[in-house]
Amino acid sequence: MYTKEYVEQMDGTHFPGKTFQDCVLAPIFDTQKNYYAGPFIEISKAHAVMLYEQKIITLQEARDILAGLRQIEAIDMNDRTYDPSYEDMFFMIEHELESLVGRDTAGRLHIARSRNDIDICEFRMVLRQKVLEVMEALNIFRQVLLSLAGENINTVMPAYTHTQPAQPSTLAHYILAFQDSLERDFTRFVQVVKTINHSPLGAAAITTTGFPINRQRTGELLGFDGLVENSYDSIAGCDYLTECAAVLAIMNTSLSRFMKDTLDFCTKEFNVFYLSDPYVQTSSIMPQKRNPSSLEQTRPAISKAIAEAKSIFDILHNTPFGDIVDTEEQLQPHLYDSIKYTIRALKMLSSVFATLKVNKDILLQRAHEGFITATELADVLVRDKGLSFRHSHKITSTIVKHMVKNGQKAQDITPQIISDISREILGRSIDLEPAEIEKALDPVNFINVRSVTGGPAPEETERMLTNRGEALERDQSLLKQCIEKLKDAERLLNEAMENIICCEPLA
């Protein structure tokens, strides 16, 4: 029986109970050591530097603390397991520091800070790094797509609406459309980094401190762009998480739609994309099979990325606006997993699309089928014969129905058919020469005349391709600046530490 007596015998009567250890504290400790040990040490270094510069601790105390932190930094936390003697990793490391520099000196490091602002700072530091990794993988995939588009400016294909062949376009036009959505995703991630990269340090538990700390200095030493100024917001606000989750969900939803098209194009029936051998598997019984397993495995990765991102909202939506464990170690890994699956998908797609072959002949053939140039025939009746579009649309629609009923193709449309049907609808004959009809029904001509901004005409596609290439270069430069800023902050922190360890005390 699961009675009170049984539980007390199993768990004990003092904190922490064994069930609490096994189900909560030990898993949290594993998350902490996997993700937050390094950031915690960096935060502690920056805090010690600031405390000394603000004359809150002495030079010797700062030197001892920094030296101790360097020793702890060399410890391989992967070898550590949860020890119920310490509530979490924070107290375990604090104990390590006490054993190195003494309890009194170690205790001075905790002046004007709390696990609350430390935790949020750790979360932001880890998340910003992971978002930068997504952005890097995203830009590689964009580069692959732009290269593929450049190779297929003149690859004529049917464009689809409502899953049906609609009008002729080009593969470049289609690929650029998807690339443009990814470019917007990159811009959204830039804003995510801006939101994340604000320091909560100095908020302490929630109302700051009575000590004369310099919040800007610790933020600077850790590479933050500024502060989460309101200390209550520093601890309670979690929109940096939901904003990141939203952008991950948006981008992966676009990726999933692109995956749907891609897997269709890989089928024998479509016969558009031919995947390179490293990315296909054969059947255990059917030797002729070329299964696009790389993409099939990528599709659930994208779905899992979306699911993990959505879980952020599910967990947070009804929690209090304050310090609450729901936003802490048990929540953060959901975002990390979403990012992990996203990066896997982007890397796989980059390799597949960099090496796939395009069946240009079959695409061109299909662009001649299904009367998908009918819009241009209607436009010719408007431009050259002065009809309203409603009249030209009705005439062209009737022509298509007539041809389908008689089992004929677009190439079989004759001047006589156009004359007879226009007379039936308008009461007068519209005459087109065979050469005019042939040109109107030619998918290449259809594309060439659509040179309006954003259209599939080669010269317009080339302009867009050049523009997108320049945008990608700017985005890559911006990403590099973000990465370098964090490296500069690391150097700045190391220099500040060296100045304390080696130099004269502050006047």
The pLDDT, as a whole number, for residue 174 is: 97
Distance (Å, rounded) from C-alpha 179 to C-alpha 174? 9
Angle of helix 332-355 versus helix 293-316 axis, rounded to 10: 160
Highest mean pLDDT among 20-29, 88-97, 479-488: 479-488
User: Which of 14, 162, 284, 317 does the annotation list as catalytic?
Assistant: 162
* Structure confidence at residue 504 as a pLDDT band (50, 70, 90): low
* Structure confidence at residue 35 as a pLDDT band (50, 70, 90): confident
Mean pLDDT of the chain, nearest integer: 92
Q: What is the pLDDT of residues 146-203, one digit of tens each?
A: 999 999 999 999 999 999 999 999 999 999 999 999 999 999 999 999 999 999 999 9
Percent of the chain's residues with pLDDT above 70: 95
Phi then psi dihedrals of residue 167, to 5 deg:
-150, 155
Contact 152, 174 (CB under 8 A): no
Instruction: Give me the mean pLDDT over the 259-273 stretch.
Output: 94
For this structure, is 162 an active site residue?
Answer: yes
By DSSP bridging, strand 226-227 and strand 198-199 are: parallel
Q: pTM surpassing 0.85?
A: yes
The pLDDT, as a whole number, for residue 277 is: 87
The pLDDT, as a whole number, for residue 30 is: 67
How many CB atoms neighbour CB 261 within 10 A? Answer: 15
Give buried/exposed letters for 294-307 (b at 16+ CB in 10 A, else e): bbeebbebbbbbbb
Contact 347, 373 (CB under 8 A): no
Instruction: Give me the mean pLDDT over the 21-38 stretch.
Output: 74
Output the 3-class SS for 55-71.
Answer: CCCCHHHHHHHHHHHHH
* Structure confidence at residue 3 as a pLDDT band (50, 70, 90): confident
User: Which of 99, 276, 283, 293 does the annotation list as catalytic?
Assistant: 283
* Structure confidence at residue 11 as a pLDDT band (50, 70, 90): low
Instruction: Give me the mean pLDDT over the 80-92 stretch.
Output: 75
Task: Give, in degrees to the nearest 5, the angle at Cα 413 between 407 and 418.
Answer: 120
Residue 153 or 25, more confident: 153
Distance (Å, rounded) from C-alpha 123 to C-alpha 36? 8
Residue 284 pLDDT > 80? no
**Comparing C-alpha atoms, which of 270, 309, 314, 321 is closest to residue 292?**
270
| SS3 (DSSP) at 300 | helix
For this structure, is 199 an active site residue?
Answer: no
Q: What is the pLDDT of residues 98-118, one digit of tens each?
A: 999 999 999 999 999 999 999
